[in-house]
Amino acid sequence: MKHKKRPARNTSCILLAMAFALSLTSCANEEPQQKAPVPDGEPPAFDLFSAEDYEYTVMYGSPDTWDDEKNLTVNLDNDGISEEFIITKGKKNEIILNAVVRNAEGKTIDSYNLWTTELDSLLPDELREPGSIINYAYTQISCCDIDEDGTKEVLVSVGDKRRANLTAIYEYHKDDPVPFSFIGQLPCESKVEYKGNQILWAYDALCCGNAYTVYRYDNETITEIETEAYAQ
Ligand SMILES: [Ca+2]
Ligand SMILES: [Ca+2]
């Protein structure tokens, strides 16, 4: 009986060896995960976020290439005192998007980094480097009243204009312990536009059928709505 079992064991061994060899072949054939290549040519001229009436500042590249800072001064809530936004980097080349609140005398009473852990963790792979962003990404801070309640929202966009765009929305409540609160984000490939009536258009690659997703922003809530109703 034993010799009858032996071939069976050998067959099992052969099958196991074949399976192992196949798995090795399969592993050997797997391409390592790679980011999509950067499209050739000049990037499009549009902004990552735009509207008919908005203010913005933008920085290009990974923060280790930034040799200056960008500033934007906007009075978000029309109270006579402007808020200030600064795109800069820290000592370890980390991203700092500072939102500064001042009092009537110009003294800083609060400062908040809009590059929150939420935003960092939401960044698409196409825009990501370990602890940073790719060196052909744009970082833009925009101020625009996208729910038309009289106070401008702050929009932070990071994107390469062709494959990935993340636009995050922050609300401003100057009397809150943390005056800027992260509401949510709109993912798309190229740009986000505000065209009025609390409606935001998030576009995919503009070369490929002009696909877009439409969102309503109201009551500090982002809601995806039927795109067909807004066919262009
Ligand atoms: Ca103000
Ligand atoms: Ca508003």
Per-residue pLDDT at 14 exceeds 90: no
Q: How far is the CA of 116 from the centre of ligand 1 (A)?
A: 22
- Beta strand residue intervals within 18-164, DSSP E: 49-51, 55-60, 70-74, 83-89, 95-102, 108-113, 128-129, 132-133, 138-144, 153-159
Q: How far is the CA of 209 from the centre of ligand 2 (A)?
A: 31
Residue 182 near residue 129 (C-beta atoms within 8 A): no
51 pLDDT band, cuts 50/70/90, is very high
pTM over the 0.85 mark: no
**Domain-wise residue ranges, the chain:** 49-187
Digit-coded pLDDT (tens) for 126-139: 999 887 899 899 99
Query: What is the pLDDT averaged over residues 117-144?
Result: 91
Digit-coded pLDDT (tens) for 173-224: 999 999 999 999 999 999 999 999 999 999 998 766 669 999 999 999 999 9
Q: How far is the CA of 72 from the centre of ligand 1 (A)?
A: 13
Ligand nearest to the CA of 183: 2
Q: Where are the alpha helices (DSSP H) in the chain?
A: 2-29, 117-122
The three-class DSSP label of residue 171 is strand
Question: What is the distance between the alpha carbons of residues 217 and 92, in angstroms, rounded to a whole number?
Answer: 36
The three-class DSSP label of residue 88 is strand
